Structure 1
Amino acid sequence: MLDRAHRLTSALDYSRVSRQGRRRGTRHLVVHALAIEPDATSRVGCITSRAVGKATVRNRVKRRLREIAREVLAEHPCGLLIVLRAKPGAAGADHQTLRAEVHRAIDRLVGGSERA
């Protein structure tokens, strides 16, 4: 579980990031990122709809995304609000695939270096 300080908790925050932030789609995810004050703590939220699968499948995808979010927060501790939205195909993707897609999308959104 992510620390409460690093989680998006309100529907208003999710909506703000989705509407005002930049978006990058991948095969299994859509990543939204919004730059905020440079000294503000970065926060992450995950969305998995019923289209992803039954509850156990959705929960597995969310656990994977939260673990990946921990890595993202270590690299970008300040200045970002991020929403990770799983597409239906995310249920069949392994952890490494999701990890690579998230990091690649965020690097492109914030102008960081490209990963292999």
Structure 2
Amino acid sequence: MLPAAHRLRRSGDFATTVRGGRRASRGSVVVHLTQPAQVGDEPTKAGFVVSKAVGGAVVRNRVKRRLRHLVAERVGKLPPGSMLVVRALPGTAFVGYRQMAIDLDLALEAAARQRSPR
């Protein structure tokens, strides 16, 4: 379970992360990651977006539970103060737990990668 201190709760935080963060999509998930300019003592926070396109309420809740569990295992690897939004794509309900974990790992790796200078 993702501790309360690590959850995004305000809509403004979601909007800031989605609009200003790095976006990466892999398989069944899209992640938006905002990393702080300076590493502080703020906890890394994560939020989830699972729309009705994923399925009914039972399916959406199952997908959210799986994503929360996967992110809870990985939240310590992100720099303190980071904000993460994980969005489930419509086909996520049909993806197995292991594949969802692989998709999340690849998306987080891609979003965390520094942009190369031009």
Q: Structures share a fold, TM > 0.5?
A: yes
4+ aligned runs moved over 6 Å, structure 1: none
Q: Which residue of 2 aligns with 1:42?
A: 44
TM-score when scaled to structure 1? 0.90
Q: What stretches of structure 2 of length at least 5 have no aligned partner?
A: none
Q: Does 1:67 align with 2:57?
A: no
Q: CA RMSD in A?
A: 1.4
| C-alpha distance in 2 between matches for 1:16 and 1:77 | 17
Q: TM-score, normalised by structure 2?
A: 0.89
Asked whether 1:76 is paired with 2:78, we answer yes
Given the alignment of the two structures, is residue 110 of structure 1 paired with residue 85 of structure 2, yes or no?
Answer: no
Cα distance in 2 between the residues matched to 1:28 and 1:3: 24
Q: State the 1:86 CA deviation.
A: 0.3
Name the aligned partner's letter for residue 35 of structure 1. Q
Higher Rg of the two aligned structures? 2
Q: Secondary structure at the match of 2:70?
A: helix
Match of 1:29 in 2: 29
% same residue: 36
